[in-house]
Amino acid sequence: MPSLRTRGFTHYRWQTGMAAWMLHRITGLALVFYITLHVWVVSSLQLGPQTFEATMAVVSAPFFRFLEVGLLFCVIYHALNGIRLIAIDFFGATEKHVLLFYSLGVLGAAVWVWGGSIMVTHAVHDLHMGVPFFPF
């Protein structure tokens, strides 16, 4: 049996359930990275209003607003696929798991476009106001 390292991703069977599982894992790890930064950034609340708002000015620069669109994707995907997993594990939705994946996919895409467009609008507005793209 060739190892994962030599066969790479051809080791996997790329079907809906497999792709859903892998995306769940990747978005989950991205969210772990984010929550670490998030708790740290928000802890600047303890240092008073000036420090907090200076920190917020950095993390709400257009660069981070665009990253936030990616974050929103991770949050929406991980939440909706998590609901799908609960439906499969507790409510007997195993046979409908593909239908569920695509239905939730449509719902998630709609929420992502809506939420993402708000974030992009902020970024574009800030860029017009002369806020630099990168805060550093």
CB of 20 to other proteins, least distance (A): 15
Cβ atoms of residues 74 and 33 within 8 Å: no
CB of 127 to other proteins, least distance (A): 15
CB of 26 to other proteins, least distance (A): 10
Nearest residue to 87 via CA among 75, 76, 107, 101: 101
Could you give phi then psi for residue 132, rounded to 5 degrees?
Answer: -65, 150
- Residues from 95 through 124 that contact other proteins (CB under 8 A): 115, 118-119, 122
State the DSSP string of 54-110. Answer: HHHHHHTSHHHHHHHHHHHHHHHHHHHHHHHHHHHHHS--GGGHHHHHHHHHHHHHH
Q: Which stretch binds other proteins (CB under 8 A): 5-13, 33-41, 92-100, 101-109?
A: 33-41
CB of 134 to other proteins, least distance (A): 19
Q: Which of 3, 5, 39, 92 binds other proteins (CB under 8 A)?
A: 39
- Residues from 50 through 79 that contact other proteins (CB under 8 A): 52-53, 56, 60, 75, 79
